[in-house]
Amino acid sequence: MIVGCVKEIMNNEFRVGIVPDHVQMYVGAGHRFLIENDAGIAAGYTNEEYQQAGAEIFEDASSIWNQSEMIIKVKEPLPSEFDYLRKGLIIFTFFHLAANRRLTEVLLEKEVTAVAYETITDEEGRLPILKPMSEIAGRLSIQEGAKYLEKQYGGSGVLLSGVSGVTRGKVLVLGCGVVGQNAIRTAIGFGAQVVVMDKNGSRLEAMDLMYRNNVQTVFMTEGALRRELTNTDVVVGSILVPGENTPKVLRREHLKLLRPGSVIVDVAVDQGGCAETSRPTTHDNPIYIEEGIIHYCVSNMPGCVPFTSTNSLVNATMFHGLHIAGSGIEAAVLFDSHLAQGINCYKGHVTHQGLAHSLEMEYVNPISLMK
């Protein structure tokens, strides 16, 4: 197969979809690997390293888009890339389509095979490619929340760790999955008071056993959420219903319960966000203020730590990418039901149930479309 990797063009997105060691594995398996000039430079990988691994370097993205049978990247195609999309092209990347009807329609119209990192599952029903990015975003969420509490950004002026004689700041984590657990761990490290809410009792129990008195676990109800919000300094939004638009548990009226200058870090913004007032922002312009509350809603948080995030991402994508290149998408999907969960659009149909539900489109089982 001819496999390609283009430079990311999203604002301040410094990750890259492949590292030289993995290019070597594709080339060793008999595939051609095309990569755009300087695609990996910000993540620490030079053109020479890719060339030594067997990649062919191209000055322009268009040659790669046009020649490749599969494109491996990090973030979803942006409008300036839509003209490159064509029937049968496989794109293996993060898509987050439930929050992006326009891109979904383009993928369907052009009959692209969209294999979404974020909906591929494993034996335990977890999301193994989303996981490393969620670990990073969860850890970053506290770093960013603490920063924007500072007065010069419009924050309340609270230091999360407090100081002797003055109470600590409080972090409220909504959603106790991978992002939430990593936010908890980092917030405890910062010395904050930490509360986590979820609808899943066993996840709360695990946090209770692991961190004992360092974390307060609270089952998610409307009443409990209102009580917890009243003295919170940083809210971390880390709720997910896979493939679907994020439930809007934080409504505008809830913001009035927070102290002005508190911060919402809505990590879940890539799937629509768990606050009604959230809208995606960029690393260039990461925050805005609504109802006196700072909203940090960067949808590609790990993009700012490209060395760490590229390496952890590619470790998770490598096996599936090589499998698709080696067997073709149909055989790979028929063999691996977890990879099949990643097929969001195929032959002009929505082929993921959660996505179809969120966008109110018809769901078609991808296997039924395969010869």
Ligand X SMILES: NC(=O)c1ccc[n+]([C@@H]2O[C@H](COP(=O)([O-])OP(=O)(O)OC[C@H]3O[C@@H](n4cnc5c(N)ncnc54)[C@H](O)[C@@H]3O)[C@@H](O)[C@H]2O)c1
What is the SS3 assignment for 234? strand
**Which of 268, 340, 350, 355 touches ligand X by CB under 6 A?**
268
Residue 130 in contact with ligand X, rule: CB under 6 A: yes
Neighbours of 266 (CB within 10 A): 29
Phi, psi of 38, deg, nearest 5: 65, 20
Which listed residue (22, 31, 96, 295) is catalytic?
96
The CA distance from 286 to 280, in Å, is: 9
**Of the listed pieces 4-12, 145-153, 168-176, 360-368, which binds ligand X according to CB under 6 A?**
168-176
Q: Which two tokens stand for residue 291?
A: 């109802």
Q: Rule CB under 6 A: which of 302-341 touch ligand X?
A: 302
Q: Give min distance, CB of 4 to ligand X, in A.
A: 24
Query: With the CA atoms of 98, 100, 101 and 106 taken in that order, what torsion angle do they form, in degrees rounded to the nearest 10?
Result: -120
Residue 133 in contact with ligand X, rule: CB under 6 A: yes
Residue 267 in contact with ligand X, rule: CB under 6 A: yes
Query: With the CA atoms of 90, 93, 94 and 98 taken in that order, what torsion angle do they form, in degrees rounded to the nearest 10?
Result: 0
Nearby residues of 127 by Cβ (< 8 Å), 6 or more positions away: 118, 119, 120, 121, 134, 178, 242
**Which of 93, 300, 309, 344 touches ligand X by CB under 6 A?**
300
Q: Give min distance, CB of 144 to ligand X, in A.
A: 10
Nearby residues of 340 by Cβ (< 8 Å), 6 or more positions away: 333, 334, 366, 367
Q: Which two tokens stand for residue 246?
A: 């994020």
Residue 173 in contact with ligand X, rule: CB under 6 A: no
Residue 271 in contact with ligand X, rule: CB under 6 A: yes
**How many residues belong to the site for ligand X (CB under 6 A)?**
34
**Of the listed pieces 144-152, 296-304, 311-319, 356-364, which binds ligand X according to CB under 6 A?**
296-304
Residue 142 in contact with ligand X, rule: CB under 6 A: no
Q: What is the DSSP string of 285-305?
A: S-EEEETTEEEE-BTTGGGGS
Give the amino acid at 149. Answer: L
Is position 336 annotated as part of the catalytic site?
no
Q: Name the maximum alpha-carbon separation found in the chain.
A: 70
First to last CA, the chain: 20
**Which of 175, 243, 306, 342 touches ligand X by CB under 6 A?**
175
Is position 270 annotated as part of the catalytic site?
yes
What is the SS3 assignment for 2? strand
**Which of 13, 69, 198, 233 touches ligand X by CB under 6 A?**
198
Give the amino acid at 332. Answer: A
Binding mask 66-105 for ligand X (x = CB under 6 A): ----------------------------------------
**Which of 32, 168, 203, 347 touches ligand X by CB under 6 A?**
203
Q: Enumerate helices (H) and strands (E) in the chain, giving the number of each.
A: 12, 15
**Of the listed pieces 33-41, 76-84, 282-290, 297-305, which binds ligand X according to CB under 6 A?**
297-305
DSSP 55: P
Q: Give min distance, CB of 176 to ligand X, in A.
A: 5
Query: Which residues have a catalytic role annotated?
Result: 96, 270
What is the contact surface with ligand X in residues (CB under 6 A)? 118, 130, 133-134, 137, 174-180, 198-200, 203, 220, 238-241, 246-247, 249, 267-271, 298-302
